[in-house]
Structures are given as C-alpha cells and as structure tokens.
Structure 1
C-alpha cells in the first residue's frame, strides 16, 4: 500500500529515514527519479542510507507507474513514494498514478524560488504545478517533519 507520496529534494536522508519511516510505520521507500535510476552507485548510497528493515527501490519515472499500481493493489508493504521535485510528482500523476495527497517536504532555495514555509521554497512554476494537482483533487500540504502540522498549499499561496 502506498501510504505517503512526498517531495523532498534530498531524497533519502536522516529526516526521512529516522522520522518519517517511524511516524508512518513504513517498511519500503520507492524513489522515483530518472537521474538516480541511471546511477547504480547513487542507488547503493540511498539503499545504505536507509535503516535496517526499510527496503529501498529506485525506479525511473517511466517504470514507476506500473510498479506503483501493483503496489497500491497488493498492499504487502507500507510504502513511501519519494520524488526529488514537484515536476516529478506532477509527471507521475499525469502519467497515470493517481494519489490523494502530496506531502511537500524539503525543497531548498534556488534560482527563482521564494520561501513558502520553513525550509520549503518554490518557484512560480512549481507553485503553479502544485496548484494544478490541487485543482485535480490532490490534497497538497507542506510539512517538513511529521511533528509539524501539515499546512495546506492554499493557506500559503491562495
């Protein structure tokens, strides 16, 4: 079962492994990222960064939809889908993997980005993409860590 779909530009790191996995009782992380999927060394780095008992699988966007559909149907794991970018989350949704909610975590400052909330920043283009998901019924919230209250996107940009 896909328990959580999250955007975090650092992918697997301490917060994800120590806090999110425990808070959501996850046993699997599926990283959807073309760059990492093409780099066996980085795949191994991310696998080693995960705590014991957490299975990590890295797939390209193209391979993600059929895998995630099977995951949603079979429900043998409690899975986090982890993406590096808002654009990746939108592409995943538009290519056929519907999800009811998107958790936006760490997106750092960068060219054209402005702070939205805490350590989360976004460009006007990224905000428009998030709003597009929201218009399709996806509950878009910003939440760096599970102890934080999820903040609806509309509260920050609406």
Structure 2
C-alpha cells in the first residue's frame, strides 16, 4: 500500500478558506500536507498554515524531498492526504520523485499574476516555466491537469486552455 492521496492541488495561496472548508469537506482528508521547501524554512508561514487547518484535520508543512520519502513509507499509509504545493514545478518534482498522482490528477486552483505572465483563467497566471511544467504533467506524466477553484466549478483541461492561448 501507499498513502491515499485524495487531492493534489497547486495554489499559490496554499491553505486558505476555500481549501480549508470546501475542498476539505469534499475530499475528506485526515491530513493536509503543504509541500514547499520555502515554507518549510519559514517559521511564521509554517505556523500560520498549521493553524489554518480545519477541525479534525492536521496540517503539516514539509519539503519536496520529505514528501517523496514518506509517500512510499508504510507508516504513512493511514494518511488520507490533501497535498498542496505553491507551484506547478513543485508538483512536477513530486511526480518525478515517484509520487503517484494518476488517481487524482493535478488540480490547479490559483497561480498569482506577475508582470509578463499570461492569464489562463481569472485565477491562473502562467509564465514559461509554469507552461512547461503543466505540459510535462499532461504530456509526459499523462496526468489529468485541470483548473477548478471549488468542487462546484466545472473542471477545465489546462492543456486545452494553453493551446487556446497559443502556449
């Protein structure tokens, strides 16, 4: 057995209201794993994230390498996980490290805009590195990569959105 991943989501805001309430009640995890090397080193952000977890669900902030290690460790088979990364590139690193997301695919919730980026949806902005990472997950890892802010929203295939934007 391996860890039961209920949702793998990229969201530049990480653990916030929509994730803590709506997504958690939909996918019913017993653990939220925020996977980010940067946040794992930032004591304040780490504390804020662990405190934002909804009642009954524990949140941990771990590095990309730690997630890869614990995914295959049978001691963590009891985890019903909601995995959050800040970037698509971190999700690619997990997949390349052996974390199996074939059951869930990759949900892209929001990627914040910076100058020079292209808006794919009202909540998702991409630069070339994000485009390359999405293409890798879809084309090479053969994963369903989709935009969906909340469960009630219709899934939007990101490879289709990239093609429509000429990316």
Other-structure match for 1:89 = 91
Residue 108 (structure 1) aligned to one of 105, 112, 131:
112
CA distance in 1, matches of 2:61, 2:106: 19
Secondary structure of the equivalent of 2:115?
Answer: coil
Query: Which 10-residue stretch deviates more, 91-100 or 130-139?
Result: 91-100
Distance 1:125 1:39, change over 3 A: closer
CA deviations on 1:83-135 (whole Å, 9 max, x unpaired) are 00011111111122231110000111113211101211111221121011111
Secondary structure of the equivalent of 2:79?
Answer: coil
Matched-pair contact (CA < 8 Å) for 1:2–1:71: no
Secondary structure of the equivalent of 1:105?
Answer: strand
Gaps of 5+ in 2: none
CA deviations on 1:35-88 (whole Å, 9 max, x unpaired) are 1111233222111111111110111112110112337972x2321110000111
Other-structure match for 2:26 = 23
CA distance in 1, matches of 2:95, 2:116: 24
Distance 1:70 1:38, change over 3 A: same
- 2:46 is equivalent to residue 53 of structure 1: no
**Superposition map of 1:1-158 within 5 A:** 1-70=4-73, 74=77, 76-100=78-102, 101-135=105-139, 136-158=141-163
> TM-score, length-normalised on structure 2?
0.87
CA RMSD, Structure 1 to Structure 2 (Å): 1.7
Matched-pair contact (CA < 8 Å) for 2:11–2:85: yes
Matched-pair contact (CA < 8 Å) for 1:2–1:72: no
Gaps of 5+ in 1: none
CA distance in 1, matches of 2:147, 2:74: 25
